[in-house]
Amino acid sequence: MKTRITFRTCPFHSRDVDVWPVCDVTLLTENEREIFHRKAKGIRRYLEDGSLKSAARIARCSGSTLLDSFNRCLKIAGDGRIFGFRALLPHLRTKKYVRNKALPRGRAIGASGSSGAFDAFLAEHPELHQELDRRIERGGSEKGGSAHPQSFKIFDGFVQLCRCYVGPDCYPLNSRSKGRRSVERYIKAYRERHLSCVETWYGADAAQRLRLGTGHKSFHLGEAPFDVVGFDAHKIHCVGTIDVPGPAGRQTIPIERIWVCVAVDSGCSKAVVGYSIGICTEINAAHVELAIKNCLTEWAPLKLTVQDVSYKVGAGLPVGTVPGLSACRFACLTMDNAAQHFANRIVDSMRRAMGCTIRWGQVGAWWRNSEVERFLRHLREVASKAFRHRLDRISMIHCEAMPLKTRLLNASSGKKCCSVSMCVSRTTTPRRTQLSADRNHWTCSPSTFPLRAEHS
């Protein structure tokens, strides 16, 4: 008989019930909650004065029953801590079931009498247990990782292995299902416990997301506004037309997409410093160059022709809105690995003209440019809501003055032919906006941000 822990033999660090794990008892019945609180009060009293008789009187149970509940509370749970008051919950197991009876033998056994048989079978055959674990990590393949992991592949391999170790009248070959449900439950539990299976079963993207935030954190590059600027493009799928005015009248051009290219300050302001719009199938280096060029151009509000669309008070790009700020030249430009970002006019011409460095992020690592990705997600949400409420009113996007022949040629070749202004306000706290962060920076420390000279 195992010796029970008492007040005298209880470890000193386990006597403080205030640090014990607690649980929610709101879903218990009234009678179960009453028993739970009585036993909890009795254990608290027992650890205060060590009197088992007075504690059992409070718990309204025998001293032996209360001592058994106290020992259940001191057992180690799966999270590495003691069960604490969680052990007082009804029907809670504090110990895993272990089969002591021999494995069932004979032909065509039923489901009765097979409790714990699968775990006992794996314990008796450690070589088969290791091979089963290896096949789960490989997704059912005998050699290398499987591109399409399936549980039935692992089960078929498990049955073939069992035929090498046991006879047809032994478990699990003597059961009707050959232990299929037990193997499926074991596969599910193994995947949840071992992170090495994530890439095989759920893909490389899931494994990469799982490792997010576990490595060494790099130092923050941007200390002042516009030290680091992130760039990315987002495609908005739509069906519409663009009216091109000209001497011969308006010409209608159908479109099925709108590309929004934005440059966002990754420093302290998170403000949009430049943008460009495209309607071609894929953007090219010209769209990127135009968005970066807008960072140096003084912003001015456009004449809006769409009904019920207007600029918010104080809205605009930093250059042209913040007094005294002109020709914003950033030190570092972060981009993803899109093909147009490696063009010579970006890597060589634009980089030399801006006097900055370019940092390309890892493939699929969206968190390397998280500020831009977060802004584009917010832009998509706001745009979808706006289009949903104003779809019956918005009929066209007017273009700026340009010769009709040039517009039609650019449209047929996939080049940008119009200038679109998207008036979107980001959801920020009312105390501080992106532009106010820039204004506060130059007001408080104007000498710490010298303007960078232009490089030819």
Using the predicted structure, report yes or no on whether residue 244 has a pLDDT greater than 70: yes
Do 356 and 328 meet the contact criterion of CB atoms below 8 Å apart?
no
Q: Three-class SS string for the chain?
A: CCCCCCCCCCCHHHCCHHHCCCCCCCCCCHHHHHHHHHHHHHHHHHHHHCCHHHHHHHHCCCHHHHHHHHHHHCCECCCCCECHHHHHCCCCCCCCCCCCCCCCECCCECCCCCCCHHHHHHHHCHHHHHHHHHHHHCCCCCCCCCCCCCHHHHHHHHHHHHHHHCCCCECCCCECCCCHHHHHHHHHHHHHHCHHHHHHHHCHHHHHHHCCCCCCCCCCCCCCCCCEEEEEEEEEEEEEEEEECCCCCCEEEEEEEEEEEEEEECCCCCCEEEEEEECCCCCCHHHHHHHHHCCCCCCCCCCCCCCCCCCCCCCCCCCCCCCCCCCCCCCEEEECCCHHHHCHHHHHHHHHHHCCEEEECCCCCHHHHHHHHHHHHHHHHHHHHHHHHHCCCCCCCECCCCCHHHHHHHHHHCCCCCCCCCCCCCCCCCCCCHHHHHHHHHHHCHHHCCCCCCCC
Give the pair of three-digit tokens for residue 185.
């439950």
Distance CA 25, CA 18 (A): 17
pLDDT at 345: 87
Confidence of residue 434 (pLDDT cuts 50, 70, 90): low
Q: Which is more confident, 239 or 28?
A: 28
User: pLDDT digits over 139-188, tens only?
Assistant: 888 777 777 888 898 999 999 999 988 888 888 888 888 889 999 999 99
- pLDDT the model gives residue 103: 85
Burial class (CB in 10 A: 0-12, 13-18, 19+), 454: exposed
Whole-number percent of the chain with pLDDT over 90: 23
Whether the per-residue pLDDT at 446 is higher than 60: the answer is: no
The Cα 23–Cα 27 span in angstroms is 11
Chain center to CA of 2: 47
The pLDDT, as a whole number, for residue 391 is 47
Question: What's the pLDDT at 413?
Answer: 43
Mean pLDDT of 1-19: 86
Which of the residue ranges 146-150, 213-217, 413-417, 443-447 would you say has the lowest mean pLDDT?
Answer: 413-417
CA distance 408 to 247: 13
Q: Whole-structure pTM over 0.75, yes or no?
A: no
Q: How far apart are CA 280 and CA 24, in angstroms?
A: 57
Q: What are phi and psi of 179, to 5 degrees?
A: 75, 25
> Percent of the chain at pLDDT above 70?
80
CA 7 to chain centre: 47
State the average pLDDT over residues 60-70. 93
Q: In the prediction, which pLDDT does 455 show? A: 47
What's the token pair of residue 257? 């997409």
Q: Give, to the nearest 10 degrees, the angle between helix 117-124 and helix 180-193.
A: 70
Give the pLDDT confidence score for residue 190 in this predicted structure: 92
Confidence bin at 109 (pLDDT 50/70/90): low
What pLDDT score does 216 carry?
A: 64
Q: Note if the bond before 172 is cis, omega within 30 degrees.
A: yes
Ramachandran region of residue 280, left (φ > 0), alpha (ψ -120 to 50) or beta? beta
Tell me which range, 59-68, 102-111, 411-420, 446-455, is most confidently predicted by mean pLDDT.
Answer: 59-68
Domain borders along the chain are 12-88, 117-210, 228-448
| pLDDT value of residue 430 | 43
Q: Looking at the predicted structure, is the pLDDT value of residue 18 above 70?
A: yes
Q: What is the mean pLDDT of residues 124-137?
A: 91
For the segment 339-357, what is each residue's pLDDT rounded down to a tens digit?
A: 888 898 888 888 888 888 8
The residue with tokens 């091109």 is 244
pLDDT of residue 110: 55
What is the per-residue pLDDT across 79-106, written as a single tens digit (0 to 9) for each? 888 999 999 999 888 888 888 888 888 7
Average pLDDT over residues 223-236: 85
What CATH architecture is 228-448? 2-Layer Sandwich (3.30)
332-335: strand order across its sheet: 272-278, 251-265, 228-244, 332-335, 357-360
**Model pLDDT for residues 364-419, shown as the tens digit of each residue:** 777 778 888 888 888 888 877 766 655 444 333 333 334 433 443 444 444 433 33
Rounded Cα–Cα distance for residues 61 and 105 (Å): 44
pLDDT level of residue 309 (50, 70, 90 thresholds): confident
